[in-house]
Amino acid sequence: MLLAKIYIKPKSTVKDPQGNIIQSSLKDLGFLNIENVNMGKYLEIKLDTDNELTASEDIKKMCDQILTNPLIEDYSFVIEKI
Amino acid sequence: MLLAKIYIKPKSTVKDPQGNIIQSSLKDLGFLNIENVNMGKYLEIKLDTDNELTASEDIKKMCDQILTNPLIEDYSFVIEKI
CA–CA separation, B35 vs A32, rounded Å?
42
Q: pLDDT by residue (tens digit) across B5-42?
A: 999 999 989 999 999 999 999 999 999 999 999 999 99
Of A19, A31, A42, the CB nearest to B8: A42
Q: With bands split at pLDDT 50, 70 and 90, how would you rate the model's confidence at A22?
A: very high
Of B31, B40, B41, the CB nearest to A62: B31
Q: Are A37 and B43 in contact (CB under 8 A)?
A: yes
Distance in Å, alpha carbon of B71 to nearest chain A alpha carbon: 19
Q: With bands split at pLDDT 50, 70 and 90, how would you rate the model's confidence at B50?
A: very high
CA–CA separation, A38 vs B78, rounded Å?
15
Kindly list the residues from chain B whose CB atom is less than 8 angstroms away from the CB atom of residue A43: 19, 22, 37-40
**What order of strands is seen across the sheet that includes strand B2-10?**
A73-81, A2-10, A34-47, B34-47, B2-10, B73-81
CA–CA separation, B52 vs B2, rounded Å?
8
User: What is the rounded end-to-end Cα distance, in angstroms, of chain A?
Assistant: 6
Please give the ipTM for the structure prediction.
Answer: 0.88
Q: With bands split at pLDDT 50, 70 and 90, how would you rate the model's confidence at A5?
A: very high
Interchain pair B41, A39: CB under 8 A: yes
Question: In chain A, what percentage of residues exceed pLDDT 70?
Answer: 100
Question: In chain B, what percentage of residues exceed pLDDT 90?
Answer: 99
Q: Are A10 and A73 in contact (CB under 8 A)?
A: yes
CA–CA separation, B39 vs B42, rounded Å?
10
Distance in Å, alpha carbon of A35 to nearest chain B alpha carbon: 5
Q: What is the DSSP letter of A65?
A: I
Residue B29 confidence (pLDDT) = 93
Residue A46 confidence (pLDDT) = 97
- The answer as to CATH 3.90.1010.10 being correct for domain B2-81 is no
Kindly list the residues from chain B whose CB atom is less than 8 angstroms away from the CB atom of residue A31: 58, 61-62
Q: pLDDT by residue (tens digit) across A36-74?
A: 999 999 999 999 999 999 999 999 999 999 999 999 999
Residue A66 confidence (pLDDT) = 92
Q: How far is CA A65 from the centre of its chain?
A: 15
B36 reaches A (C-beta below 8 A): yes
Distance in Å, alpha carbon of B55 to nearest chain A alpha carbon: 10
